[in-house]
Structure 1
Amino acid sequence: MDVDLIFRIAAIGIIVSVLNQVLIRSGREEQAMMTTLAGLIVVLMMMIYEINTLFQTVKTVFQL
């Protein structure tokens, strides 16, 4: 896991929170919720890739 991944996740969080606040202030709560869910899905997909890499490394180390 690289520090770059942490910065990417933080950047996505900041962008999603700003978009969420802008959409809520303009009265579009449904779009704000969808934006939040989309940001969550993007971060989860990034984490799934990293977890897959972790499992591959563990399999290689223990020769499974």
Structure 2
Amino acid sequence: MDVDLIFKIAAIGIIVAVLNQVLIRSGREEQAMLTTLAGLIVVLMMLIGEISTLFDTVKSIFDL
């Protein structure tokens, strides 16, 4: 895993948190929830590739 991935996830988290607070303060709770959900989905999509690499590495280590 690369340090850049951690920084990307942290940046997405900060952006989503700021957008969430701005939307809640303006009375748009539904859009704030959708923004949070979209941020979570983006991060999970980024992690799917890393998890796949992890499983491939485990397979190759144990010769499965």
4+ residue runs over 6 A deviation: none
* Root-mean-square deviation over aligned CA pairs: 0.9
Deviations 1:4-52 (A, max 9, x none): 1100000000000000011111110000000000001111111121110
The answer to whether residue 52 in structure 2 is matched with residue 42 in structure 1 is: no
Q: CA deviation at 1:58?
A: 1.5
Task: Give the TM-score taking structure 1 as reference length.
Answer: 0.92
Q: Percent of pairs identical after alignment?
A: 84
Query: 1:21: which partner in 2?
Result: 21
TM-score, normalised relative to structure 2: 0.92
Alignment length (residue pairs) = 64
